[in-house]
Amino acid sequence: MDMLWNGWGDPARATPLPDTVSGLLRDLLGVAPRGAAALPLEEIGVPTSPLDATVRRALEGAVGDRPDRVRTDAETRLRHTRGKSTPDLLRMRTGDTADTPAAVVLPDDHDQVLAVLAACVRHRLALVPFGGGTSVVGGLAPEGGSATAGFVALDLRHMNRLLDLDEVSRTATLQPGLRAPEAEALLAERGYTLGHFPQSYEWATIGGFAATRSSGQASAGYGRFDEMVLGLTLATPEGTLDTGRAPRSAAGPDLRQLVLGSEGAFGVITSVTVRVRPLPRVRRYEGWRFASFDAGAAALRRLAQDGPRPTVLRLSDETETLIGLAQPDAIGASLRRQDAGCLAVVGFEGTEEDTAHRREGAAAVLGACGGTFAGEEPGERWAHGRYSAPYLRDSLLDAGALAETLETATYWSRVPALYTAVRDALTGTLTEAGTPPLVMCHISHVYENGASLYFTVVSAQGEDAVAHWTRAKHAANEAILAAGGTITHHHGVGTDHRDWYVREAGALGVRALDAVKRSLDPAGVLSPGVLLPGNGPRTSAHPHP
Amino acid sequence: MDMLWNGWGDPARATPLPDTVSGLLRDLLGVAPRGAAALPLEEIGVPTSPLDATVRRALEGAVGDRPDRVRTDAETRLRHTRGKSTPDLLRMRTGDTADTPAAVVLPDDHDQVLAVLAACVRHRLALVPFGGGTSVVGGLAPEGGSATAGFVALDLRHMNRLLDLDEVSRTATLQPGLRAPEAEALLAERGYTLGHFPQSYEWATIGGFAATRSSGQASAGYGRFDEMVLGLTLATPEGTLDTGRAPRSAAGPDLRQLVLGSEGAFGVITSVTVRVRPLPRVRRYEGWRFASFDAGAAALRRLAQDGPRPTVLRLSDETETLIGLAQPDAIGASLRRQDAGCLAVVGFEGTEEDTAHRREGAAAVLGACGGTFAGEEPGERWAHGRYSAPYLRDSLLDAGALAETLETATYWSRVPALYTAVRDALTGTLTEAGTPPLVMCHISHVYENGASLYFTVVSAQGEDAVAHWTRAKHAANEAILAAGGTITHHHGVGTDHRDWYVREAGALGVRALDAVKRSLDPAGVLSPGVLLPGNGPRTSAHPHP
């Protein structure tokens, strides 16, 4: 099934706003119903594809002479336009088709990907790999690609097989177009799990997880996606890069770590070898309450540093707890509670014995840190609603509100200052613009040495909603860099974060990565402007300078 | 204290061979006493330094106008000649000074390193960073550097401070010239440990650990060194690269992983931020016996995959167990035992409660896998002798034997085939050459998905000991690549492994890394021929092509 073209997920699962929330939006944030409804698909004027006949034939040849694998119809192209950030959805609702690809190409295998890349180089056509289409950082909207010939969206949905499962080594080799639930289903048949459950889980793909260094809600137990990856195959315009001969090695810089996070700028990931684990026998999620965000964060830190380590560990700040966003199914239900404090969700997955032991140890630590056990209900409610928030966002947008998230990470000692700086930047900017926001935050990924901060912002949309949010987002980005955070913990760089990423990586870091890009993609056809500054395909090739 | 110039470590700790071993060498391997003793230092003819007066002044200027920080005397240069591989020691014993640096420069800080690099670029002089001098892969012997002007060994011993300890985040920032015991002492004063204990521990440095992706004997518990690193500062001819704003991030490829393992080819590491942990309250090591290497490996795999994870986990094969090399202090003592089987050393470090829990769980797993508890004595003996093997090698060389080690890693399913392939290659090559060897092996680093294999080879030296070993080593390298292993698990690439590393990384991998090198070191002054093929400084600069 395809995703809702101008919103999130399965249209049948649309989540209307509870009355408490509608009231809150109106009374607290001054949200007014929008004047115009979102345009229906058939009313959006998609310009004719600029793809000429020669190029089309070259692309068809690359995918086995199958015309049905090179699509230029309006609906297919529209469904591959940008990703799922709030600005993306807002633009789509108003019929902005500026970033629509010239064609959508659907290869079957690695060799076809190489052939498509060769055709793009030959015809100086930009190409963007397209997995689940869930980017929220502009990773699917290249720059400099659409001005003339446009660009190709390379949809990897037909590369969706489990290529190998090594039960002795506990590794699986997966094709990039597998959606996470498909991958989990294939592994579950054999008794294994990947354990990667980001909010985009139901729609995102294996290749996308690798390309963007995704991190899932059970990262405390299963690790980040980049920590699960043991090997990658990358199709580049210059040939194939194969990585990962051993789980760990001292043979030079880790080339896997150069591919992870490359976001389509260096090549197309055509297979990913990951660590797998036995399916857990037990899954148990529970709630703990803390008097303050600081107290809760200190408790999470103790578990992250000294253990025992839960599988899921997250903590909402006072505002998020009050609104009930920690449990999307119950949003608004906590509003009347004055003693909400900060809710933590703590989850354990594994064998009966191991989860019992860890749960007992963690309870002792959480209690010693001032936590109060809140039963299993908040945990189960969180688990039930864990993929629902993006549906809620659609309803908020429908109601005329602005709703968006952003995230960062830093070392533990800097967490309080980073939290304050980002919250202040968002609140200040939006208040000054006349739309005071509700800013909520949670910690959802913990490490021995630091943690992520995930912010959710809701306000009125202002005059021009995209420009309005962009101002707030830029202020947050500046605050993140000033407070020593990273510009993104798990959403990736795309085009939206690029200018801040460049500052974070530093001039030499960017120069080194740019050198890598030029060595693998001398013609500059791959995702121009994504991750690194770029101006689209060069008019003449500079083969590996 | 400086290391023994033509052998290992502290001369006062020289370890004479037990009679059983001398007998074994003679009777089993046909080792004959060497004709000539090693040359004393004062009899080695070190050619005059080719450094001219202009260049010397430039280098002195770079290190604060201190002539004592630019050394060209014979002894200092000799003490910075090559590393500590067996061929290195054999060459030094015969007075081969081909790889002696033109000068040894000793900077105080990052800015002086930048200034030294600038002087080297200006005068087209190669430079090799020098930490503990313990490379066993030719990492300190650049190619193309010594033919004309020679090269500079940049000795980092004066950069030996603990720059920062963040007890909340549990991170420490260390200068690269700190030897591991110095770093541990500085951290222990505050109650922390790094937990990195490779065999070179007593002499190797923090910068060297990072540059070579070192892995220590307690890697099962504390991780590899590359897993401990959170941030690095790299001084390059083009400026400074700073990495590590957050413990984990989705902001692009991980630049830290490009610096780790770069072995001086991209720049000089001038600070390393690492994760630290509280000093363990308890350290307990014990022995377990298995009927076969396969049975023991299966037990190690179960612990690595399902836990509980010991802090130290190693398993000697039948031959190593029989010889007693698992416990260097007891070498030869096991020889009369016919039931030696395979000895595993299993260690636990941490709090009283945690180690007790893990020990109990591990014992159940090891027992279920056919292991027999062998008491604490073999563990304690291993712990006592854990840094002694290189001393033993000196004595073996003195006795006229050849003794060397090599290592690799692979996925669990490939471990048996890799083990057989490398053992057969070593045994076959040396037997064919008329010096049948004793080949021993252990697993000393385990991961969820694979393990390392560490081989020790002892034989007679043959006619030309260096050429003799080189043949055997090359055969082992070919066997490793053919069996799907990595060319090095923790020794690094240097110049010795480079040609096999290039095949492992693949043409595109090397092209990408070469592009990085050219972007950071366009003049090619840094460690030419180390890691990547190179011919020394280019006669004209190509600033970031």
pLDDT in tens, B44-84: 999 999 999 999 999 999 999 999 999 999 999 999 999 99
Closest CA to B130 of B212, B42, B214: B212
Q: Which residue of A has its CA nearest to B235?
A: A508
The share of chain B scoring above pLDDT 90, in percent, equals 88
Q: Rg of chain B's alpha carbons, rounded to an integer?
A: 23
* Rounded Cα gap, residues B403 and B17, in angstroms: 13
Closest among B403, B288, B428 to B346, alpha carbons compared: B288
- Judge: A485–B519 Cβ closer than 8 Å, yes or no: no
Q: Bridge partners of B488?
A: none
Q: Are the beta carbons of A263 and B249 separated by less than 8 Å?
A: no
Q: What is the CA radius of gyration of chain A?
A: 23
Query: Do the chains contact at B226 and A492, CB–CB below 8 Å?
Result: no
CB-facing half-sphere around the CA of A520: CA atoms within 13 A: 29
Q: Which domain holds residue B29?
A: 11-155
Task: Give pLDDT, residue B346.
Answer: 98
CA nearest to B259 within chain A: A253
* Among the listed residues B393, B273, B275, the one whose alpha carbon sits nearest the alpha carbon of residue B21: B393
Chain-wide mean pLDDT for chain B? 94
Residue A107 lies in a domain: yes
Residue A249 lies in a domain: no
Q: A253 and B259 in contact by Cβ < 8 A?
A: yes
Chain A partners within 8 Å of B521 (Cβ): none
Say yes or no for a CB contact (<8 Å) between B545 and A544. no
pLDDT at B37: 80
> What CATH number has the domain bearing residue A97?
3.30.43.10
Is A250–B170 a contact, with Cβ atoms under 8 angstroms apart? no
Nearest to B130 by CA among B526, B409, B503: B526
Q: Residue A15 carries which side chain, given as an amino acid letter? A: T
pLDDT at A108: 98
Mutate which of B222, B236, B249 to test chain A, going by most A C-beta atoms within 10 A?
B249
What is the number of structural domains in chain A?
Answer: 2
Interface test with B, best of A137, A165, A238, A411 (most B CBs within 10 A): A411
Q: Which of A114, A230, A255, A276 to mutate to test the interface with B (most CBs of B within 10 A)?
A: A255
Contacts of B248 in chain A (CB under 8 A): 215, 224, 226, 409, 445, 447, 450, 489
CB nearest A449 (choices: B169, B254, B261): B169
Number of other residues whose CB lies within 10 A of the CB of residue B20: 16
Burial of B442-475, coded b for 16+ CB within 10 Å and e otherwise, reads: bbbbbbbbbbbbbbbbbbbbbeebbebbebbbeb
Indicate the DSSP class of residue B48: P
Distance from CA of B544 to the nearest CA of A (A): 8
Distance of alpha carbon A240 from alpha carbon A225, whole angstroms? 22
Is residue B49 a part of any domain in this protein? Answer: yes
Shortest CA distance from A265: residue in chain B: B252
Q: Could you tell me if residue A97 is left (phi over 0), alpha (psi between -120 and 50 degrees) or otherwise beta?
A: alpha
The per-residue pLDDT for B333 is 56
> Taking residues B280-289, what's their average pLDDT?
97
Q: How far apart are CA B489 and CA A241, in angstroms?
A: 21
3-state secondary structure A498-544: HHHHHHHHHHHHHHHHHHHHHHHCCCCCECCCCCCCCCCCCCCCCCC
Q: At CA B26, angle to CA B24 and CA B30, rounded to 5?
A: 115
* Residue A199, token pair as written in the block: 């909010």
Nearest-neighbour CA in chain A from B334: distance (Å): 33
Name the band, by pLDDT with cuts 50, 70 and 90, for residue B334: low
**Beta partners for residue A164, in sequence order:** A173
Q: Which residues contact A540 (CB under 8 A, 6 or more apart)?
A: none
Q: Domain ends where: A140, A155, A170? A: A155
Average pLDDT over residues B13-18: 88
Residue corresponding to tokens 């209900």: A377
The answer to whether the beta carbons of residues A66 and A476 sit under 8 Å apart is: no
Q: Is B445 a domain residue?
A: no
What pTM, to 2 d.p., does this model score? 0.96
Mean pLDDT split into 10-residue runs, chain A, 545 residues: 92 87 89 83 92 97 98 97 97 94 98 98 96 97 72 98 98 98 98 98 98 98 98 98 97 98 98 98 97 98 97 97 71 57 97 96 98 96 93 94 98 98 98 97 98 97 95 98 98 98 98 98 96 81 43
Which amino acid is located at A401 in the chain? A
Residue type, B226: D
Decide if pLDDT at B335 tops 70: no
Size of interface A-B (CB pairs under 8 A): 270
Helix (H, G, I), strand (E, B) or coil at A84: coil
Are the beta carbons of A489 and B215 separated by less than 8 Å?
A: no
Last residue of a domain, one of A346, A363, A387: A387
Whether A519 sits inside 8 A of B520 (CB atoms) is no
* Structure-block tokens of residue A301: 């830190």
pLDDT band at residue B542 under the 50/70/90 scheme: very low
Please report the pLDDT score of residue B540 as a whole number: 55
User: Cα distance from B262 to chain A (closest Cα, Å)?
Assistant: 6
Query: How far, in Å, CA of B60 to CA of B67, rounded?
Result: 6
Residue type at A428 in one-letter notation: G
Q: Strands (DSSP E) along A131-215, which ranges?
A: 151-155, 162-166, 171-174, 192-193
Question: Which residue among B250, B251, B508 sits closest to A241, beta carbon to beta carbon?
Answer: B508
The residues pairing with A101 across neighbouring beta strands, listed in sequence order, are: none
CB contact under 8 A, A246 and B170: no
Indicate whether B139 belongs to any domain: yes
Nearest residue of chain A to residue B357 (CA atoms):
A357
- Rounded to whole angstroms, how far apart are CA atoms B538 and B545? 14
Find the residue in B nearest to A170 (Cα).
Answer: B449
φ, ψ at A226 (rounded to 5°): -65, -20
Contact list in B for residue A501 (CB cut-off 8 A) is 251-252
Using CA atoms, how far apart are residues B384 and B418, in angstroms rounded to an integer? Answer: 30
Q: Is A255 in Cβ contact with B509 (below 8 Å)? A: yes
Which residues of chain B lie closer than 8 angstroms to A516, CB-CB?
A: 253, 512, 515-516
Give the closest residue to B105 by CA, choosing from B169, B161, B177, B36: B177
Nearest residue to B443 (alpha-carbon basis) of B333, B332, B294, B227: B294
Task: Give the residue-averaged pLDDT of B504-529.
Answer: 97
Cα B25 to chain centroid, rounded? 26
Report the chain A residue with the minimal C-alpha distance to residue B254: A257
* Four-CA torsion B290, B293, B299, B305, nearest 10 degrees: 160
Which of B212, B243, B516 is nearest residue A516 as measured by Cβ atoms? B516
**Cβ atoms of B220 and B312 closer than 8 Å:** yes
Whether residue B515 and residue A515 make contact (CB cut-off 8 A), yes or no, is yes
Identify the domain boundary among B384, B416, B432: B384
The pLDDT of residue B144 is: 66
Question: Nearest residue of B to residue A242 by CA position?
Answer: B506
What's the CATH code of the domain at B304?
A: 3.30.70.3450
Identity of residue A137? V
